[in-house]
Amino acid sequence: MDIKLPKGTKDIFLAEAEAFEQVESALINVAKMFSYASIRTPIFEHTELFTRSVGDSSDIVRKEMYTFTDKGDRSLSLRPEMTAGVIRSVVENKLDVTSDLPLKLYYVGPAFRYERPQLGRYRQFHQFGVENIGITSPFSVAETIALGVTAFTVMGFKKVTVNINSLGDQPTRDAYKQALKTYFQPHLASVCPDCQQRFETNPLRMLDCKVPSDQALGKKAPRISDFLSPASAAYYAQVKEGLKSLSIDIVESPQLVRGLDYYSDCVFEYHMLSDKGLDYGALGAGGQYNNLVSELGGQPLKSVGFAFGLERLIAVLSDSGRLENVKPFTDIYLISMMPETDMYTFKLAHNFRHTNFKTELNLEHKSMKASIKAAVKKEALYAVIIGDQEMKANQVTIKNLQTQEQQLVPVNEVVHLMQHLTNQAGHHHHDESEGEEAHHDEEKK
Ligand code: HAM
């Protein structure tokens, strides 16, 4: 069979899959700490949703959408990001009317962009994001940016940089676009064809161009900070004050315009080089969007949000060797020594699992030495061995795989004893602590 995975996608398995789950659960915990609730929206939406929100002047809509016509002749697109779908859902379900504001939602899932695959860039990738809908205070913007910074801390990242800028309100951007047009006009013949089009549709996009000569030109362009309306400037100043009060370091980036059309006022990106010195691009990014909810038919609610790229977060963790000991672990490794003890061991495994022990069952009937070796390889805490003798005496052998201590105990006491032993050793085997454990494991390294 020579069917390979599609270009720009990747299979995620074993240690990396485990890392995804641990990172997701750590991020979800942080979101809950900030009092966010979960939302899941469809992976495809009507194409028009994205053209109207992400915007027809954005590269995402112009070049990167997976758009198709379904059997009912509807134009649908795989979501290139989640904000549009979340706000569509909020408006459609009247959550903007019926909820206490701000309405705070988080999400995790795949998104799709037909981009040229490169370091940290895939055609199917995963985002974790938050949307803080219906805010008034600039401190809510600072709080949302701080949520992202907290998430990095919890995941054990070393200092990330927060790049920040303000795109101002509509009057600000109208005035600024005019100034950009005046600035770029004399250079129009020499800029890339994309920028020639951006000049017409949205000159702000020209600052986002990846062509080096266009970038150099953009660096000397007028700065939006000189065009901010008094209201936008005051609001932005307070966002920065809020971040300062939490000792969050920011880098003001007048060049930062973001590639999506729905942004207004404060925008930001999280950046960090990996331990291998690699730049995977923004690890996360977002900003305020003050008109999107009403543009999609809802209340006029100012909002702010951001999304992290999970592949990029995990690549940075991997480069610092932090995924090496990310493994699912086993509490109890049950060994049935012979066919006659299989049923007995099989039922005991079921009991352990119902008592919340992560349990592996070995029915291979190998030598004791080989079976214990397999248990050690699984990094189990205890091996529970059942041979003919044990079964007949209604007993089991418990072996502590760290100390090698071994004891024979009555089978009807084994679950209770294991609970006692694992509690004593401070091992948590309850599911709720999983995210915490991920965090501790990573920190230990
Ligand atoms: P975005 O900057 O387009 O913003 O994407 C957010 C993050 O998703 C990026 O910083 C990056 O980590 C990751 N990402 C984007 N494209 C790819 C790709 N092709 N491969 C791998 N990772 C990628 C948004 O999507 C906005 N919806 C964020 C937001 C939420 N703004 C307000 N609320």
pLDDT of 16-41, one tens digit each? 999 999 999 999 999 999 999 999 99
Sheet holding 44-46, edge to edge: 44-46, 75-78, 67-69
Other beta carbons within 10 angstroms of residue 89's beta carbon come to 17
pLDDT, residue 159, reads 86
Residues 393 and 302 in one domain: no
Distance, CA 36 to ligand 1 centroid (Å)? Answer: 19
**Looking at the whole model, is its pTM more than 0.85?**
yes
Task: Report DSSP state, residue 339.
Answer: G
In a domain, 312, yes or no: yes
Does ligand 1 lie within 6 Å of residue 198's CB atom?
Answer: no
Q: Do 20 and 90 belong together in one domain?
A: yes
CATH code for the domain in which residue 290 is found: 3.30.930.10
Structural domain includes residue 97: yes
Ligand 1 contacts CB of residue 121 (under 6 A): yes
- Whether residues 42 and 141 fall in one domain: yes
- Distance from CA of residue 213 to its chain's centroid? 33
In a domain, 445, yes or no: no
* C-beta of residue 288 within 8 angstroms of C-beta of residue 267: yes
Query: Which of ligand 1's atoms lies nearest the C-alpha of 60?
Result: 3
Q: What is the pLDDT of residue 326?
A: 75
Prior bond of 138 cis (ω within 30°): no
Would you say residue 132 lies in a domain?
yes
Is 436 a domain residue?
no
State if residue 442 touches ligand 1 by the CB under 6 angstroms criterion: no
Residue range of the domain that includes 86? 14-156+268-319
Do 111 and 18 belong to one domain?
yes
Picking from 257, 290, 319, the residue at the C-terminal end of a domain is 319
Same domain, 129 and 24: yes
Closest residue by CA, ligand 1 atom 33: 305
* Atom 8 (ligand 1) nearest CA: 309
Q: What is the pLDDT of residue 425?
A: 67
Could you check whether the bond before residue 6 is cis, i.e. omega within 30 degrees of 0? Answer: no
Which ligand 1 atom sits nearest the alpha carbon of residue 131? Answer: 33
371, part of any domain: yes
CB 88 within 8 A of CB 262: no
CATH number at residue 403: 3.40.50.800
Confirm or reject: Cβ of 122 under 6 Å from ligand 1.
yes
Q: Is 160 in the pocket of ligand 1 (CB under 6 A)?
A: no
* 153 contacts: CB under 8 Å, gap ≥ 6: none
Residues 287, 391 share a domain: no
The helix (H) or strand (E) run that includes residue 352 is helix 342-354
Q: What is the DSSP letter of 292?
A: H
Q: How far is CA 70 from CA 6, 65, 198, in A?
A: 21, 15, 31
| Per-residue pLDDT tens digits for 416-444 | 999 998 887 665 444 433 433 333 343 33
Q: Is the CB of 240 under 6 A from ligand 1?
A: no
Answer yes or no: are the C-beta atoms of 270 and 160 closer than 8 Å: yes
415 and 284 part of one domain: no
Closest residue to atom 31 of ligand 1, CA basis: 286
- The low-confidence residues of the chain, meaning pLDDT below 50, are 428-445
Q: What is the pLDDT of residue 158?
A: 86
pLDDT of residue 371: 97
- Pick from 191, 185, 287: which is nearest to 236 by CA? 287
Which residues sit opposite 67 in a β-bridge?
A: 77
Looking at the structure, do residues 27 and 141 belong to the same domain, yes or no? yes
| Cβ–ligand 1 contact at 305 (below 6 Å) | yes
Q: Which two tokens stand for residue 366?
A: 């190998």
pLDDT reported for residue 400: 96
* Beta pairing, strands 161-166 & 124-133: unpaired
Within this chain, do residues 87 and 120 fall inside the same structural domain, yes or no?
yes
Domain count, the chain: 2
Q: Ligand 1 mean position to 284 CA, how many Å?
A: 6
- Would you say the CB of residue 83 lies under 6 angstroms from ligand 1? yes
**Is residue 443 included in any domain, yes or no?**
no
- Tell me, yes or no, whether 168 lies in a domain: no
Same domain, yes or no: 149 and 272: yes
Question: Ligand 1: distance of its center to the CA of 338 in Å?
Answer: 54
Q: Are residues 38 and 149 in the same domain?
A: yes
24 and 144 within one domain = yes
Residue 273's closest CA among 120, 160, 163? 160
Ligand 1 neighbour 113 (Cβ under 6 A): yes
Residue among 259, 250, 321, 326 at smallest CA distance from 286: 259
Quote the ligand 1 centre to 125 CA distance (angstroms): 9
